Amino acid sequence: MSTATHPPEETAGLVPDGTSRLLIDGQLVPGSGGTFAVTDPTTEEVVGHAADATAADMDAAIAAARTAFDTTTWSTDHTFRAHCLRQLRDALQGHIEELRDITIAEVGAPRMLTSGPQLEGPIADLGYFADLAESYSWRTDLGQASPMGMPTTRYTQREAIGVVGAITPWNFPHQINFAKIGPALAAGCTVVLKPAPDTPWCAAVVGAIAARETDIPAGVLNVVTSTDHQLGAQLCTDPRVDLVSFTGSTDTGRRVMATAAASLKKVFLELGGKSAFIVLDDADFPSACAMAGIGVSIHAGQGCAITTRLLVPRERYDEAIAAVRDTMAGIVPDDPRRGGTMCGPLISAVQRDRVQSYIDLAVAEGGTVEVGGGRPAGRKKGFFIEPTLISGLDNSSRAAQEEIFGPVLVVIPHDGDDDAIRLANDSAYGLSGMVYGTDPARIQHVVDGVRTGTMGVNGGVWYSADVPFGGYKASGIGREMGVAGFEEYLETKSVATPAG
């Protein structure tokens, strides 16, 4: 176990003390910029503070990660890495209730989601990557050949790429943090994690637990919380960083890619989405429409892979509107601490105002708000928006083309399977999707035709540690999770020796 010493307050517990430090080179240290406030989006109250790092702190974290990669056996000791990842998983599970409280308070995540992708699922997924570190075929025999008449034995070996800069958003912080930390550490990389300033605690507490309760060597994992967005740019420009893994908006992803280009570092980008929920004319119509309304309302629609365009047969357009309207009307935004809450608050006043502006824009474009449309009646506190259904717009409208990141669903008519595919693909994005129908051949035709990184059929769920996740077009570059996600953090070395 780690024997590093920490400030006295760090022994008092994880809330809030374990969330107010940076993890740099194995030590829990204060931020050079002081602290910044953490706000509960449900109450709008300040619930604590997080360490505010400066460029000097980020420089120290990058230096620690570089030294740990270059001077230790971390990258070559596969068994030890698997041991440390399992340790981290077990330690996090031992603090699951504190982590749950932090996640609900900081993210506004509904309690029901913390049993799955908002907390418990991503922690358990660390075990998948620990297993992969041990079972992966690090060397591949290519057999013998005689290039230029010289008998040669060839093989490839996979090696860790080096120092990883991980920049993560606020909507599913544990899932996204661990989807980067898990495979990067399993691959033998060292990591500097820069989480969103809206949700610093979810990352900082992982750093505190890793430092106190695991054998992860100093410098291998560094956690740098800050309000300064330039620290992300610092990761992109620093030549000591070999790969930047970024999840966030497409606009920011473009800047990350452009900034990283100067040092020719590898970039992984998981970006936005405007995914289509396609209902065919032979589907179980009421069930499909209900699921579309439920899906866009979960976690107040704050998910890049959530389906936010509902494509339905033109002849059943009014029927679809009625079915979705009834479903969404029954979903009441509420305190995420309540066990049955599905739709909690948006993360901030800025995000609430942004979502409201899109609803107002949709009306200005000629759309009709069928249900929802604003702040829930009687809620004077909290960054809440009602689940909102918009009709009367075509696929060219801004509300149908731009990522809103709120509980807003636009319903659009289609004229048959091929037209549904055309509309689904008529988007800058290609991250996710769903199709409902009964004819397997027609369903497969839609699955084959829609250019998207993930696709569900009749409610099928693709999310799992072993399933690659990522998008086409402006939805990103590369894949996260699964073997494909693990291999994003590897280089390939080809070796040739004389045949004997």
Q: Does residue 29 contact residue 22 with C-beta atoms inside 8 Å?
A: yes
Residue 16 pLDDT: 53
Residue 34 has pLDDT above 80, yes or no: yes
Nearby residues of 413 by Cβ (< 8 Å), 6 or more positions away: 311, 312, 313, 314, 317
Residue 378 confidence class, pLDDT cut points 50, 70, 90: confident
Preceding amide of 16 cis, omega within 30 = yes
Residue 11 pLDDT: 32
Q: Which residue has tokens 């070559």? A: 76
The rounded distance, in Å, linking the Cα atoms of 259 and 161 is 19
Residues paired with residue 266 on neighbouring β-strands, in sequence order: 243
pLDDT in tens, 3-20: 333 333 443 345 555 678
Whose CA is closest to 22, among 6, 37, 38?
A: 6
Average pLDDT, stretch 449-455? Answer: 98
Residues paired with residue 390 on neighbouring β-strands, in sequence order: 369, 410
State whether residue 36 is helix, strand or coil: strand
| Backbone torsions φ then ψ of 106, nearest 5 degrees | -90, -40
The rounded distance, in Å, linking the Cα atoms of 244 and 238 is 10
pLDDT in tens, 99-149: 999 999 999 999 999 999 999 999 999 999 999 999 999 999 999 999 999
Residue 419 one-letter amino acid = D
Which of 61-81 are b and which e, b meaning 16 or more Cβ less than 10 Å from the residue's Cβ?
bbbbbbbbbeebebbeebebb
Residue 4 pLDDT: 39
Task: List the catalytic residue out of 120, 270, 480, 487.
Answer: 270
Q: Percent of the chain at pLDDT above 90?
A: 95
Residue 420 confidence class, pLDDT cut points 50, 70, 90: very high
Residue 14 pLDDT: 54
CA gyration radius, the chain: 24
State whether residue 409 is helix, strand or coil: strand
Residue 440 has pLDDT above 90, yes or no: yes
pLDDT in tens, 38-72: 999 999 999 999 999 999 999 999 999 999 999 99
Residue 141: count other Cβ atoms within 10 Å of its Cβ.
Answer: 10
Q: How far does the chain reach from its first CA to its final CA, in angstroms?
A: 46
Residue 298 has pLDDT above 60, yes or no: yes
Residue 22: count other Cβ atoms within 10 Å of its Cβ.
Answer: 28
Residue 7 pLDDT: 38
pLDDT in tens, 147-185: 999 999 999 999 999 999 999 999 999 999 999 999 999
Average pLDDT, stretch 313-328? Answer: 97
Average pLDDT, stretch 375-390? Answer: 95
C-alpha dihedral over 87, 93, 98, 99, to 10 degrees?
90
The rounded distance, in Å, linking the Cα atoms of 113 and 100 is 10
Structure tokens at 302: 């704050």
Q: Percent of the chain at pLDDT above 70?
A: 96
Residue 332 one-letter amino acid = V
Mean of the per-residue pLDDT values for the chain? 95
Residue 17 pLDDT: 57
Residue 412 pLDDT: 98
State whether residue 367 is helix, strand or coil: coil
Q: Does residue 496 contact residue 453 with C-beta atoms inside 8 Å?
A: no
DSSP 200-259: HHHHHHHHHHHHHHS-PPTTTEEE---S-THHHHHHHH-TT--EEEEES-HHHHHHHHHH
Residues paired with residue 36 on neighbouring β-strands, in sequence order: 50
Average pLDDT, stretch 341-367? Answer: 98
- Determine whether 270 is an active site residue: yes
